[in-house]
Every structure is written in structure tokens, then in C-alpha cells.
Amino acid sequence: MSRYTIVCRYYLWLYLLGILVVVLPLQAQQDYFHDSRVFGREKPFRVFLPNDYDSSQKKYPVIYYFHGNKGTHELNISGVADLVAKNDVILVAWNGRSVDNDIRPYNIGNHSNINYQVQFKDYFLEIVEHIDSHYRTLTDRSHRAVIGHSMGGIMSFFLAAKYPDRIGTAVNSKGSPEFFIGYPDNHTLYSVRYFFKYLHGVNIRFHNSTSGELVHLNNEVHRGAIREKGLNYEYNAYEGGHSLKSHEFEDAFNFVIKSFNEPSSKPKRWHHTDLYPEFDIWGYEVRSNLSEPGFIEMRGVTKGGMEIGTKKWQPLGRPIPGVTINVKTPSIYEPDTEYNLLDFNPAKGTNSLSKVRSDSSGKIVFSTNQDNHQIGIYKKGDPGEIVFLSHQVNDKDIFLDQDKTSDLRLQVLNRGGSTVKNLVVLLSTEHPGVTIENPEIILKEIASGEAIWLSEVFKVTASNPPVEDGSPFRIRFNLTFSTANDQLWQDEFDAPVFYDVLEFDNIGIDDGDTEIFGSGNGNNIAEPGETVMFYEITGMSKRLRVYYDDPYLDERLYDEMQPDKWGDGYTLSSLIRVSEDCPIGHQIRFLASYEVKDWKSIKRNVTWGTFSITVGGENK
């Protein structure tokens, strides 16, 4: 029985008693509780209904609002009820507190802020189910949106990237730029500036401010968004500080209403990364034994296959040893049919081809380990499908030279079922200061399952200056592969620039002498089998983040919070393990950086330099 039916019967009873009744509109805002299976207790929420909800039989789209730090479900922004009343929409404000007396919401933040096993990614699905079962809602992703402010802002983008198949629109108002998310004993750094490629197919809007604590860090977030080609993205920086004003909420609300009328479709090719060991996405079921911080990443997913593997961190973390990933596809293949399963490991250069049979519903099951694998799924005669594998610069490493023309060579794979002839490879970038002399190369032929290094090179000049903050510094290159018979594929990759910067000429090496970071014999020389941390020790010692392309090194990251007004923005330093089989006398050249932060404005100031070491010898 609806609220409207109950109220009408109440008025009828009063009328029969001869009591004069003045019928008033039902209150648009109501607070309720529901029994949460996830939390094992009642959870409150506030719901706003359109004026005609109780007098119609229509179904309505739903907006979920996520409050910020110290907030609750009691959304009291001026004008919210009027916005809902004027639009055919339901607005639900949830409660982000893990326990009632918590002030900090969502069980995210620094290590010490993650205290509960219960995850809000699970509660989101539960409250959506509750709202859809108790109200007349449109339940497709195109008519479901999230809006969040501050800590709720990062939650809105996090959930939209985790559930793009359930959320069609997301607005992040001045959100926290990066937090750890996950379980108390297993949580992972989620830096928003690196996660926009997982938001394709979602209409997204990001609000920044012109003053306040998060302006500069959120400038980094915005720069992470604009490097993504084809992203449905809007941005606005509002005069003033961190608070959410009514006109800013109205802009977010109107963006959502527009998106309901102009939804984005599911992308034909998509990416996903997940910090949880088990997840479902776009009909794919992924199960793994991941039991430590890190990500399972699916990249370039189409019916024809995907790249899949693990990353210790985003964007370019190492694989996580010992992980097994099991994948079940949606019902997109012919039932009970034999397919070829191509498995190419770019790091090891291995290539295997096996047979796999779809089940009676057209699903296919396969497994991989932690390494990045390019998986192709096809029958003989199916179209070819071209994907990027790797790049090399000047036939030596992955770094472009700054202010010099570099020879950029690409390796590509045909993970489809047919030979592709006369393939046009078009390279482009929107990165300022980067030019491509010859953006088009033609490959005469690439057979099914074949990986090829292009014989010709792209001539690329990178004149972009070093980034001065934590913005993504690698250059995003976009690839278009096409043929004369209208076959077309897209891909992308990032390439770093070895900046022409000053040498760090006063390098310290911790190989165990501090008994804090490095481990080794403590003689301040990097030797095989040791784990070392590098410092620039001119003036005050600064821990370094290093970048390299060397087969004898393996990196781990150390995170810390440098003092600032709010405690936002993580500083990452490199812990480098030198392989036991690294030859004595092996020379390694590093690009490196360190950062300091302003206390009040929380602005990262990054200093770049280079240095070299000789394994088993003195550093230079």
C-alpha cells in the first residue's frame, strides 16, 4: 500500500466523522530506516519525491547523494526539495557512517581511518536494491546517478568506476583527490587522477574551487581527466572555497537531469580495474585469490578479447606474484561452440593457443596468472583485431628524449581470427609540446595470433616541460588502426619523457644502515639482492621516487603523509630491489623526483633530477 493510499483513507475517515479537512500536498522530504544486511542493523536515509509521485503511476530516475566528512543523510542544502519537485526524479541521501557515532564516513582515508570490514561498495548495491523495491524507479543504469561532495565526491567517482554498468552519471564536487580504500588489513591507494580511463561510458562532471585546501590537488585530478580521449567529461571551478553552495548543487543536479535525457551508451571497448579479489563488470564474472593491496585490471575489453593482469599500484605498478585470475564471460558467444583462446604474455614474449568451448548459454571460462596477458577469443575466419603491446625508444628503453627527436617503435598484436593486410597505424597525442613528424605508418600484413615490431619508426619530439606537481607526467598517445575495407580499432599507451634536468649530485643510499627502509649490508652501495632507498641529501635529506627501464630492478612504494593543513595528498618514495643475478658493475640511470607541500594550500611542489649508480660500486 502506498503512502498516498494510506493518507487518502485517513482523510476519508475524517470526512465521515464530519471533520473539515483541508488537503495539503504530501511532504516532499522524508526520513526512513531500512534493515541493512550489509551492516547488520538499521540504516537511515532521506528521500525526496517529485510532486506527482503519489498521483501518478510513472517510474522515475534516481539520484543518490553522498555527503562529506562530518555529514549525514540529512541533506539540508537550500533548494533541493524545489529541484526535485520541478523534475521527474527521486533523490536519495544515504548515510555514510559505518557506526552511528563516527564522524568520518565511508571507511576510507589514511591507514588509520580504515577500521571496518564492511565496505560501502556493498552497501551501495543494497540501498539501490531497497529503493528500487520500495519506490517506482527506472532501474537501468542510464537513469541512475550519484552526486557527492568532498569525501562523498571521491566516493561518487569510485563507485561509478567500479559499477559503470549500474551508474550512468556521476558528479564529484570538490572531492578528496586520493585515499586508501579496502579492508583494514588489505587496502589500496586510490588516486583519482589515474582512474578516468575506467569511467568511459559514464557521464561525469567534476567541481573544483578557486580557494581552499584541495584546489591544487584537484587541479591534478582535472589534468588526469583531460588526457583521456573520448571521455564524457565536464569541469567547472567555482569561486570560493571547499563548501558546497546551493547553486553548485543545482548545477550538479541539472547536469544529471540532462544526462538522464542524453545518456551514454555502453562503450564498445572498455577498461576496468578493481581492488577487490572478486567482482562482476558488464556481465563478466572475475574471481581471484588476490589477498594483498593492488588491482586486477582488464584493459581494452571487447568480444574479441582483453588484456588482463595485476598491478601493485596504478598506473604502472608491477605484477603481484601468486595471483590466479578466473574469468567467466557474458553470454556473447555461440552456445556450445569451440573457440581458439590466444594467450600472449608481452613481458615474457610467450604465445600459446588452446581450444575452449562455450557453454550452453554462450559463456566462456578461462584463467590466467598475475602477469599481463593479451587474451584473444575467436573462431577461425573471425575478423582480425589489432592491439598495442609495447613501445621502445631509440632501440634502447621506454623513455623519450626531451627536446630531441626520438625514434618511437611500436609492437602490435593481432588477437583476432584472420590476417589483416595493409594496416594503417595512426599515432596521435593531445599533449602540449609534443609533435609527431610522421603520424602514419603502413604495415603490409599481420597474421592471426602474430606479434610484430613495426619496421618503421615514428619520429616524436617531446618539448613538454617537467610537471611541477603531482599531475600525470607520462605522455598519452592514441592509436587508430584501420584498413581499406573499413576495419577500425582503437588503443592507447603512455610513454615517459626522460627530462633534461639537473643531476642530483649528492645521492645517499639506504641499504639497511638505518634499519627502517632498505635491507642489505649497510655499506651504502647498491648490491645484488639488496633493497635500497635513494635520497637526495643536499640540505635536508629527501626520499626519491625513481623511474627507470631496467630488467634487474623491482620497485615497491613507500607512502607517507607530509604535514599539511588537512592531511591530503600522499608522497610516494621508491624501494628498489636489485636482482640477485644483476652483474657487478651494471650501470643504471634514473629519472627521479621528490616533493614538498605547502602547509595551507596543500600544493605539491615537485623537483626533478637524474642520477646514475653502478651496482656494487660508487654512485654518480
Max alpha carbon distance in the chain (Å)?
Answer: 101
Looking at the structure, tell me whether residues 124 and 56 fall in a common domain. yes
Does a structural domain hold residue 9?
A: no
Cis ω for the linkage preceding 277 (within 30 of 0): no
Burial 89-114 (b: 16+ CB within 10 A, else e): bbbbbbbbbbeeebebbbbbbeeebb
Task: Give a yes or no: residue 474 inside a domain.
Answer: yes
The alpha helices in 233-331, defined as continuous H runs, are 246-261
Asked if residue 280 and residue 148 are part of one domain, the reply reads no
Phi, psi dihedrals of residue 116, rounded to the nearest 5°: -130, 145
Whether residues 86 and 234 fall in one domain: yes
Same domain, 84 and 228: yes
Instruction: Using alpha carbons, list the distances in angstroms from residue 464 to 280, 409, 439, 496.
Output: 40, 20, 18, 11
| Same domain, residue pair 333 and 424 | no
Same domain (yes/no): 85, 209: yes
Do 534 and 478 lie in a common domain? no
Strands (E), 523-586: 531-536, 542-543, 545-547, 553-560, 571-578
Name the CA dihedral angle for 449, 290, 316, 589, rounded to a multiple of 10 degrees.
-100
**How far apart are the C-alpha atoms of 263 and 510, rounded to whole Å?**
53
Tally of domains within the chain: 4
Position 618 scores a pLDDT of: 66
Domain carrying residue 343: 270-378
pLDDT digits (tens, 9 = 90+) for 373-397: 999 999 989 999 999 999 999 999 9
Same domain, 53 and 179: yes
Domain final position from 207, 237, 261: 261
What does DSSP assign to residue 60? B
Which residues of the chain have a pLDDT value below 50?
A: 1-26
Q: Is residue 17 part of a domain?
A: no
How far, in Å, are 13, 196, 247 from residue 64 at the CA level? 36, 20, 18
Query: Do 44 and 32 meet the contact criterion of CB atoms below 8 Å apart?
Result: yes
Considering the domain architecture, whether residues 455 and 545 belong to the same structural domain is answered as no
pLDDT of residue 617: 80
Which of 411, 364, 369, 404 has its CA nearest to residue 387? 411
Residue 106's CATH number: 3.40.50.1820
Report pLDDT digits (tens) over 193-251.
999 999 999 999 999 999 999 999 999 999 999 999 999 999 999 999 999 999 999 99
Q: What pLDDT is attached to residue 536?
A: 96
Residue 541 located in a structural domain: yes
Shared domain for 278 and 253, answered yes or no, is no
Last residue of a domain, one of 209, 236, 261: 261
In a domain, 486, yes or no: yes
Same domain, 310 and 197: no
Q: Is residue 11 part of a domain?
A: no
The grid cell for 524 is: 651504502
Residue 216 within a domain = yes
- Whether residues 201 and 333 share a domain: the answer is no
313: how many CB neighbours lie within 10 A of its CB? Answer: 20
Query: Which of these three, 235, 261, 287, is where a domain ends?
Result: 261
Would you say residue 308 lies in a domain? yes
